[in-house]
């Protein structure tokens, strides 16, 4: 028998009279079930050892565990305040769990959340992401419900792979169909674009659209938004094709027959989402029978990876307030804050503006923080990751909004100060987006270091996320 010191104490849970826990020996983790009865362990692949059953952390066993412990099966959260953790590494969930517990445990967690783009760069599949989140939530002793966000989906194939894996929350991103030209196009050009839309896909016509919305007023607490023809036509020219695409993806999801909820995200577009555009997008989705649980507009100012908000906080506060009010009037649905990591100044503002009807979406910040473990325990490897991230930066930066300056990064710092490169914004951003190449090149060494220092990793992640979640917790 193994010594009891192998038991990861936070993982011990009892359900339906059976104990489940995780053990770790060296780098190998094992699920242990305190039963050998066929009706309990039959769904798992593993071995009976004495009066326990021991199962390796495989994909099939993760699925069996989700069935045995139903709180680990992804569920819909509706309008409850929620947060997405976007762990690219598959090992940070215990830290996320610790942070959630530390702030009261009321915020609903989406541990499994990764965009298709990032899955590709991390060498993961939708199913890997879900399974890693299951093991992490179990290891951390999370007893609440969990979500699972198939993030930034662009195609039917993306949807199918995530449906198959067991996701329940779908972030539909029609960004390839947003037309930024409409931001500054002439009224005549906008009208031309709007008339040329796929009106069958919108089950409407140009004239019907204008007849519905022209002169329409949305009463908000701080005044009204009146929809004039010029704004309506420009909103259509910009977002009409994106609406067609969103509806096509939505209908595809409905046709799968699964129970689901969805978010519409236009946060990766070039220009901030104007109030009239928000009204048109969400009113049209509602008219077509698709009611998102959350909407991610592009807010004013700069939401860059891994660093504080860039811009005028007073303007952002007003932007949050107007979008939040529209969401209350037309929904209610939640506002979703993307690229939400490290934007500490914005959290109290959006939590208050939405009165807690909010989803915080972070991605990648756990990877950046996990690099602190590498900086402290394997400086040679950290320098290799940094050099590679600098070398690959021009490729890595392509799909992200970044303003870092490679010229400002000092690489000739002593080992004791390497950690600080994850605090200084230029190096933090370069490392933040360097995950793809780094994980491809140094995967085994990185994971070995994280596993050797697992408690420290969990503590770093927990402290980092407590700072994110605390401003929201009182509205949860």
Which region, judged by CB under 5 A, interacts with Zn ion, from 43-51, 266-274, 301-309, 313-321? Answer: 266-274
Which region, judged by CB under 5 A, interacts with Zn ion, from 198-206, 231-239, 330-338, 376-384? Answer: 330-338
Nearer to Zn ion, 399 or 403 (CB): 399
Radius of gyration of the chain (CA): 23
> Which residue in 118, 151, 325, 369 is the catalytic one?
151
Q: Tell which residue, 408, 419, 412, 335, has the closest CA to residue 374.
A: 419
Q: Report residue 172 as tokens.
A: 């539909």
**What CA–CA distance (Å, rounded) separates 199 from 214?**
18
> Which residue in 191, 263, 268, 304 is the catalytic one?
263
Omega of the bond leading into 332 within 30 degrees of 0 (cis): yes
Annotation marks residue 173 as catalytic? no
Which region, judged by CB under 5 A, interacts with Zn ion, from 106-114, 270-278, 337-345, 406-414? Answer: 337-345
User: How far apart are CB 172 and Zn ion at their closest, in Å?
Assistant: 11
Q: From the list 131, 241, 261, 267, which residue makes contact with Zn ion (rule: CB under 5 A)?
A: 267
Which region, judged by CB under 5 A, interacts with Zn ion, from 84-92, 100-108, 219-227, 260-268? Answer: 260-268
For 459, counting Cβ atoms within 10 Å of its Cβ (0-12 exposed, 13-18 middle, 19+ buried), the class is middle
Within 10 angstroms of residue 416's Cβ, the number of other Cβ atoms is 10
User: How far apart are CB 152 and Zn ion at their closest, in Å?
Assistant: 6
User: How far apart are CB 118 and Zn ion at their closest, in Å?
Assistant: 11
Nearer to Zn ion, 66 or 152 (CB): 152
Which region, judged by CB under 5 A, interacts with Zn ion, from 124-132, 252-260, 332-340, 378-386? Answer: 332-340
Nearer to Zn ion, 293 or 457 (CB): 293
Nearer to Zn ion, 22 or 264 (CB): 264
Nearer to Zn ion, 52 or 115 (CB): 115
338 binds Zn ion (CB under 5 A): yes
Report the interhelical angle of 126-140 vs 156-165 (nearest 10°): 40
User: How far apart are CB 176 and Zn ion at their closest, in Å?
Assistant: 14
Report the interhelical angle of 365-377 vs 435-452 (nearest 10°): 60
Nearer to Zn ion, 29 or 338 (CB): 338
User: How far apart are CB 448 and Zn ion at their closest, in Å?
Assistant: 32
Listing DSSP states for 391-412 in one string gives HTHHHHGGGS-----GGG----
User: Interface residues for Zn ion in 123-162 (CB under 5 A)?
Assistant: none
Biggest distance spanned by C-alpha atoms of the chain: 79
**What CA–CA distance (Å, rounded) separates 29 from 22?**
7
* Residue 331: φ, ψ to 5°: -105, -110
Q: In what order do the strands lie in the sheet with 7-15?
A: 7-15, 18-25, 28-33, 52-56, 47-49
Which residue of this chain has its Cβ atom nearest to Zn ion in the complex? 338
**Binding-site size, Zn ion (CB under 5 A):** 2
Annotation marks residue 151 as catalytic? yes
**What CA–CA distance (Å, rounded) separates 295 from 273?**
11
Scored b (16 or more CB within 10 A) or e, 66-94 reads bebbeebbbbebebbbbbbbbbbbbbbbb
User: How far apart are CB 338 and Zn ion at their closest, in Å?
Assistant: 3
Catalytic residues: 151, 263
Binding site for Zn ion (CB under 5 A): 267, 338
């Amino acid at each position: 028998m193994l010594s009891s010191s192998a038991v990861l104490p936070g993982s011990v849970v009892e359900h339906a009279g059976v104990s489940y826990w995780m053990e770790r020996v060296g780098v190998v983790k094992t699920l242990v079930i305190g039963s050998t009865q066929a009706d309990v362990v039959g769904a798992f692949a593993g071995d009976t050892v004495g009066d326990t059953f021991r199962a390796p952390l495989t994909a099939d066993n993760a699925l069996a565990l989700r069935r045995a412990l139903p709180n680990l099966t992804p569920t819909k959260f509706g309008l409850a305040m929620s947060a997405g953790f976007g762990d690219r590494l598959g090992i940070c969930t215990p830290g996320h769990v610790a942070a959630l517990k530390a702030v009261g445990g009321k915020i609903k967690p989406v541990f499994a959340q990764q965009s298709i783009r990032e899955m590709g760069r991390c060498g993961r599949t939708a199913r890997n992401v879900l399974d890693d989140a299951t093991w992490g939530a179990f290891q951390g002793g999370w007893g609440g419900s969990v979500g699972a966000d198939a993030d930034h989906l662009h195609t039917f194939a993306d949807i199918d792979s995530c449906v198959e894996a067991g996701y329940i929350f779908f972030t539909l991103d029609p960004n390839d169909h947003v037309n930024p030209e409409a931001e500054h196009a002439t009224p005549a050009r906008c009208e031309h674009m709007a008339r040329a839309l796929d009106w069958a896909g919108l089950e409407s016509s140009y004239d019907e659209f204008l007849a519905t919305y022209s002169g329409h007023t949305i009463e908000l607490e701080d005044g009204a938004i009146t929809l004039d023809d010029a704004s309506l036509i420009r909103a259509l020219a910009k977002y009409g094709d994106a609406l067609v695409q969103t509806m096509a993806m939505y209908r595809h999801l409905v046709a799968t027959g699964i129970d689901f909820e969805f978010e519409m995200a236009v946060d990766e577009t070039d220009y901030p989402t104007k109030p009239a555009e928000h009204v048109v997008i969400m009113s049209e989705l509602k008219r077509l029978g698709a009611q998102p649980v959350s909407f991610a507009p592009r807010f004013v100012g700069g939401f860059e990876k891994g660093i504080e908000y860039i811009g005028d906080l007073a303007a952002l506060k007003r932007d949050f307030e107007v979008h939040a009010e529209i969401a209350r009037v037309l929904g209610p649905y939640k506002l979703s804050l993307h690229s939400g990591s490290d934007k500490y100044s914005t959290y109290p503002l959006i939590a208050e503006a939405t009165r807690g009807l909010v989803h915080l979406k972070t991605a990648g910040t756990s990877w950046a923080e996990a690099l602190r473990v590498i900086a402290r325990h394997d400086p040679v490897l950290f320098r290799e990751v940094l050099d590679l991230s600098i070398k690959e930066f021009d490729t890595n930066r392509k799909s992200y909004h970044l303003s870092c300056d490679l010229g400002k990064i000092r690489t000739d710092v002593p080992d004791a100060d390497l950690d600080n490169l994850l605090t200084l914004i230029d190096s933090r951003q370069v490392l933040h987006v360097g995950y793809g190449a780094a994980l491809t090149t140094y995967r085994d060494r990185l994971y070995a270091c994280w596993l050797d220092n697992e408690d420290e990793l969990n503590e770093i992640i927990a402290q980092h996320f407590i700072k994110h979640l605390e401003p929201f917790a009182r509205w949860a």
